[in-house]
Structure 1
């Protein structure tokens, strides 16, 4: 049975809030005045597109500074060996995300995949849930009737989701510009010139000396022109597999459903816990 890779889910939520941190390695995040209420108004028309990669990254950060909550639909398509097998698996579900601006590590996410479609088959119910609370990443598989909990940080030192994946997967607007430029060739393509509402398209290609060169052939980001937030991410692996994530019907800074981050597990599910390994004792100095 095909299982959804954990990194796919983390990338999905990281992309939603991709630029809440600085897009420049030396520039601190812009802080709103303490009395200011966060707002994120959708422009009545698509925003003008900067003509440089750096300009696009800066615009992303500017637009996402005010995000406190996000909810919407998520569509994940996996295409295995498109030139040979062209096997397609489509998962669809919903995503919820919240962050506390006063506590950078206090981020939570939940992704509930609800349906699956294999190739040209019918869409069927298929539940798989992912939750991250800064310390534990929980995966609930309703088909296998099991739960896996992976500890990702000490209880007293929680991580935000960006820290969790930032060094394994580049996220535009989040990953420091200096490191992006060191590891990737970044191009601003001209898709947005095709129509007034066409998305902005960035393409990342790993350099020969990049630690990602054996993982990713290309990573494409499409940015919604009105919200100026990521709309779609398509990753092509070095093996030719395609991971295609699309965000639909986003709602920003709206009240989330009560208890949306609660972990509810049926009593008959198998449960596996994977804590952090114990810290290694420091070597004593020789007398």
Structure 2
């Protein structure tokens, strides 16, 4: 399950990183509580929701250049999320619905900014069976650049892993620095050195009718690993950006085994309009630990 959530996190960070949102390196963990989303965690300038798009985007190169500068003023982001994982051999499809929040804190004294995000899933569907908050389903995943927290509040389970050495800033999703070789937070040249990029019609390859209304208003960027990119399992990545704002709407990866992971964002809000609480981005252990099953795993070389 943790591997699947990290896959979702990769896709999310890819979508935002290519856009130029949260320019820098880092991420932050803890559990969002449902009744605190309307309390701002950070003071932010008015949003750039209507950010300008280039007068013409005709090639993948045009889009990559535009994404380098789009979204630079974004400091907060919130959205609803759907994460769908399909296993080709088993024939299984898993769907999770919930909410995500992102925040970017400026770095001090020339240091890179700290990027944090949290994902809360409150609905899970597989094989025709549905679980939700009323049926004791609630999962939270938060990553802060140092700690990754996996929390099940209704079951009082809390697992926190320190995945980065104390005091260091490191983005494990960044190409060449971590175990997840996905092109995020990088310039056009860095992306093209590892991937072949192609601009497609927004609806190309989209077969689900419910997604056509979304993708028809998007640019679609297809990334295919180059032979020397070291991508032994990955076949392709596709990312969809809204044409009028260049905001990310959807991302999909396909493995060579034909397994797919898809992330769809809706109701996306930026900066002053975003609903991001401090508790949604905190990895602190519960103040009252009575009845909790807590696992705290420090960093290991």
Q: Which interval holds the TM-score relative to the shorter structure?
A: 0.7 to 0.9
Q: Which residue of 2 aligns with 1:157?
A: 168
Which of 97, 112, 123 is the matching residue for 2:120? 112
Q: Give the conservation status (yes or no) of the 8 Å contact 1:80–1:242.
A: yes
What is the TM-score with the length of structure 2 in the denominator? 0.74
Q: Give the conservation status (yes or no) of the 8 Å contact 2:236–2:254.
A: yes
SS in 2 for 1:51: coil
Q: Which residue of 2 aligns with 1:204?
A: 223
Q: Give the conservation status (yes or no) of the 8 Å contact 2:51–2:70.
A: no
Q: Which residue of 1 aligns with 2:295?
A: 272
Report the count of equivalent residues.
256
What is the TM-score with the length of structure 1 in the denominator? 0.77
Q: Which of the two has higher C-alpha Rg?
A: 1
SS in 2 for 1:164: coil
Q: Which residue of 2 aligns with 1:170?
A: 182
1:1-287 correspondence to structure 2 within 5 Å: 5-15=4-14, 17-18=16-17, 19-20=20-21, 21=23, 39-42=47-50, 48-81=55-88, 84-103=89-108, 104-125=112-133, 126-142=137-153, 145-159=156-170, 163-167=171-175, 168-171=180-183, 174-191=185-202, 198-212=217-231, 214-254=232-272, 256-263=276-283, 265=286, 267-277=290-300
Q: Greater share of helix residues, 1 or 2?
A: 2
Q: Which residue of 1 aligns with 2:30?
A: none
Unaligned runs of 5+ in 1: 23-35, 279-287
Higher normalized contact order (CA 8 Å, seq sep 6+, divided by chain length): 2
SS in 2 for 1:240: coil
Q: Give the conservation status (yes or no) of the 8 Å contact 1:232–1:246.
A: yes
Unaligned runs of 5+ in 2: 25-43, 205-211
Q: CA deviation at 1:197?
A: 5.8
C-alpha distance 14-73 of structure 1, shift in aligned 2 (>3 A): same
Instruction: Give, in whole Å, the separation in 2 of the partners of 1:192 and 1:48.
Output: 21
C-alpha distance 238-143 of structure 1, shift in aligned 2 (>3 A): farther
Deviation readout 1:73-126 (Å, 9 max, x if unpaired): 011001111xx5421110011011111234533222111111101133335332
